Amino acid sequence: MAGAEPFAKEGLPEIYLQPGESRLVKEPAILRTLLGSCVGIAFRVPRLGMGALCHPMLPRFPVKQALTLTRSAGRRYVDYAIRDLARQFDAMGALRDEVEVKIFGGGDVLVAVSDTARPTVGRLNCEMAMKVLEEEGFYVSASSLGGKRGVNIYFNTQTGEVLLQRHS
């Protein structure tokens, strides 16, 4: 599947997110990304016509580096990325209970060589995302987490539809 073919007939602009990026749009778009152990969290506020996608790579923001990390660098972390988008939604007048949230990824795509009892980055990302979303008052309406393969996601911010393409 090249590009956002599933949504090609929609004629919406397509925005690809790299790992560690977040994007909030106020006009309809297709937000897409490729996930392995990272999580992709899609947010949509129908009343305001806004949608967002974040693609954090690691579970927890390093508090010791808080003064030296930029906002852009902070978005690499699950907890920071969710809270950053929550603040943006608040500033635009979105109510938490009207924000539609869907979460994907967090796969165990990296081969664990040593301690198999230790939680994987994918699992830690999923756990942190669910914890922070709950703390922030968001309800997750759909999810596809874990597994052993990566996924491409295509998020139509106009309809809220998310298409998943699993890697073989």
Q: How far apart are CA 143 and CA 157, in angstroms?
A: 16
Q: How far apart are CA 129 and CA 37, in angstroms?
A: 12
Cβ 41 vs Cβ 103: under 8 Å: yes
Q: How far apart are CA 51 and CA 156, in angstroms?
A: 8
Here the CATH number for the domain that contains residue 150 is 3.30.1330.200
Count the domains in the chain.
Answer: 1
Across 150-157, average pLDDT: 96
pLDDT band at 2 (very low <50, low <70, confident <90, very high): very low
Instruction: Please give the full DSSP string across 44-64, using - where no structure is assigned.
Output: EEGGGTEEEEE---BSS--GG
What amino acid is encoded at 142 in this protein? A
Tell me which residue has tokens 């922030």. 136
- Name the pTM for this structure: 0.90
pLDDT at 57 over 50: yes
The residue segments making up the domain with residue 87 are: 5-166
Dihedral Cα 111, 112, 117, 119, nearest 10 deg: -70
Phi/psi class of residue 20: alpha, beta or left (left: φ > 0; alpha: ψ in -120 to 50)?
A: left
Across 51-60, average pLDDT: 96
pLDDT band at 1 (very low <50, low <70, confident <90, very high): very low
